[in-house]
Structure formats: C-alpha cells, structure tokens
C-alpha cells in the first residue's frame, strides 16, 4: 500500500513541478482556484464511486442520477423555493442510489450490468420529466439558485470547491472511523467471508450506492447552478472519468482496497493534465490518449502489486 501511495504522490508532484517550470501562469491564484473548481464535479462523483469500488461494486448510473436529481431540483426550486429544490435533488439522488443497491442485491446480477441498465432508465426518466427541453428556475429565484456556484471570501475559492472538501472529508471519516467503513472494506475484500462473520452484505451495498447517489445529486446541483438550468443530457459519461480517477488513485477494481484521499489525488492528476494541455497550447485531441494510458498503467500496477503480495 505504501508503494501505491508514494507512486501517486510522486506523479502529482512531478506534474506540479513540470507545469510550474513550463508556464508562468500555473501557480497564479486565479489558475489554482480554477483548478479546484474544475475538479469539483468529477471529484464529487469519485467520492461515491470510490466507496462503491471498495465495496466491490460499480456504479455506472452516477451521471444519469446526476441529471435526474438536477432536473428535479430545478423544478422543485421553481415551485417551492431554492431550499426545497436543493433538498429535493439530494433526496432524489439518495432514492435512486438506494434503488440501484436494492436491484443489485435482489437480482444478484453483476452491478456493472444492473447500473448500466438503470442508467438508461434514469436518462429516459429525465427526458420524460423535461419533455426533452431545458428547464430553468424561476427568474426571481435564479440568483439565489446560482449562489451555489459563487466564489467565497477565502481567496476566491468557490462554494463548490468547499463542498467537495466537505464531502471528501465526510466520506473519508465514514471509511476510516466507522463500523460501516470497516464493513465496506470487508465486503469488498471477500463478501462470503464477510457474510460468514455476521456482516449483512446486502444492506452494506445498498448504503454505498445510496451515498453514491447523494454525491451524484450534489454534483448535479453544482452543474445546474453554474448553468442556471438543467437538462436530461447533462453530465453524460462523467462516471467514467470518476472511475478513472479512483483507479489512478489506487482504488482496486477488485474491491477491498482504496481510500477517498487517493481518489482525490487521481482527480487532481486528471485535472492537471487538462489544465496543462490548455496552458501549454497543446492539441486537446491527444488528451484522452494520455488519460487512457494512465488508467492502463494504474490497472497494471494494481495487478502486479496484488500478485507480488500473494
């Protein structure tokens, strides 16, 4: 585990040093604040998806849950106020996440297939709710609704950036300091052994899917606040970026190993790559190639370390 930790920290350090030396704008306050803000959406999704992966399941419906939650939040804010809209969005994310977990547990089909199918269902639900149109908050409440995306007095750091810090801290505490966290690791490491030791595997999986749904809903609210609107197609395939960040950060695709902070390092690495392409004026069409090679290297490293430990 120390090898994995030092590896991702070294990769982050090398990227920071390289970009600092190659450009004069990387270490400016404006760029650093922008970096944090760019990492928020994928970062929030990564918090929930990392929990799922440690528990031995995948959530491929996260971006669809994001879209449905954002749409519900905007419509609820239009009818009953911004606070009601935010609450409705989070509740929607929690319910859809719990539905994901219940479906995986009851159907006993691999989570990859179940959440992929449900993601299609949720996208369709968002289309039905919006009738294929973009939905907006009430004009009188638009400014209040968009306050979720505003900068703060803390050096211009935005509210979403602080939200990401809070969510990552809470999910980290859940993993490190609670009985649920220990059970998540146990279920992901060996579900049969966890069951024989008295852990209720099904409820643990439902809980991690629920948390992932809440994280997706928060990401949806941030996206909706930034754009002042919501639509069924928002956030498409962002769950793949979140899975990539978790894997790059050292979370095992086989379950039982990982940490939220490492997932956040993975998010920062992906964000730094995109920021570097922009600052250096490189052709961004090559960016997916670099990210794909990083993911392949991370998976290969995970496989090699597991076999060395065995």
Mean pLDDT of 295-305: 72
Contact 72, 79 (CB under 8 A): no
d(CA 87, CA 91): 6
Model confidence over 98-132: pLDDT tens digits? 999 999 999 999 999 999 999 999 999 999 999 98
The answer to whether residue 244 scores a pLDDT higher than 60 is: yes
3-state secondary structure of 152: coil
163-182 residue pLDDT tens: 999 999 999 999 999 999 99
- Whether 302 shows a pLDDT value over 80: the answer reads no
**Whether residue 192 has pLDDT greater than 70:** yes
Tens digit of pLDDT for each residue in 76-97?
999 889 999 999 999 999 999 9
Higher pLDDT, 6 or 14: 14
Distance CA 266, CA 270 (A): 6
Does the pLDDT value for residue 190 go beyond 70? yes
Q: What is the pLDDT of residue 12?
A: 86
pLDDT at 5: 63
Q: How confident is the model at residue 2 (pLDDT cuts 50, 70, 90)?
A: low
Cα–Cα distance, 24 to 279 (Å, whole number): 9
pLDDT of residue 293: 84
pLDDT at 220 > cutoff 70? yes
Note the pLDDT of residue 284: 80
Which domains, and CATH codes, for the chain? 2-309 (1.10.3470)
Written as six digits, the tokens of 152 are: 């703060």
Average pLDDT over residues 207-223: 97
Question: In the numeric block, which tokens belong to residue 23?
Answer: 């450009």
Mean pLDDT of the chain: 91
User: How much helix, strand and coil, in percent to the nearest 5, is found in the chain?
Assistant: 80, 0, 20
At 127-153, the pLDDT tens digits run: 999 998 999 998 888 999 999 888 888
Q: Is the pLDDT score of 198 beyond 70?
A: yes
Q: How far is CA 63 from CA 114, 186, 194, 214, in A?
A: 15, 27, 30, 12
Residue 182: phi, psi to the nearest 5? -65, -35
């Amino acid at each position: 585990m120390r090898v994995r930790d030092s590896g991702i920290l070294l990769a982050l350090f090398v990227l920071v040093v390289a970009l600092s030396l190659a450009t004069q704008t990387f270490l400016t306050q404006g760029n650093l604040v922008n970096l944090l803000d760019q990492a928020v959406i994928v970062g929030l999704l990564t918090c929930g998806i990392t929990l799922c992966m440690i528990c031995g399941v995948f959530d491929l419906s996260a971006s669809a849950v994001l879209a449905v939650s954002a749409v519900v939040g905007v419509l609820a804010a239009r009818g009953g106020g911004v606070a009601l809209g935010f609450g409705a969005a989070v509740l929607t994310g929690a319910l859809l996440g719990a539905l994901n977990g219940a479906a995986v547990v009851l159907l006993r089909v691999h989570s990859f297939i179940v959440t992929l199918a449900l993601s299609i269902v949720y996208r369709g639900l968002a289309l039905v709710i919006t009738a294929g149109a973009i939905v907006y908050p009430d004009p009188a409440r638009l400014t209040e609704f968009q306050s979720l995306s505003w900068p703060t007095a803390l050096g211009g750091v935005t509210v979403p950036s602080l939200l990401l810090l809070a969510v990552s801290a809470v999910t980290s505490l859940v993993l490190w300091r609670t009985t649920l966290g220990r059970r998540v690791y146990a279920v992901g490491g060996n579900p049969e052994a966890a069951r024989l030791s008295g852990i209720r595997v099904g409820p643990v999986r439902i809980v991690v899917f629920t948390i992932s749904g809440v994280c997706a809903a928060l990401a949806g609210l941030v996206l909706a606040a930034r754009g002042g609107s919501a639509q069924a197609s928002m956030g498409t395939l962002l769950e793949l970026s979140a899975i990539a960040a978790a894997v790059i950060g050292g979370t095992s695709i086989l379950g039982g190993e990982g940490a939220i902070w490492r997932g956040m390092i993975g998010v920062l690495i992906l964000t730094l790559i995109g920021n570097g392409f922009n600052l250096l004026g490189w052709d961004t069409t090559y960016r997916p190639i670099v990210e794909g090679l990083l993911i392949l290297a991370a998976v290969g490293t995970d496989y090699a370390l597991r076999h060395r430990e065995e």
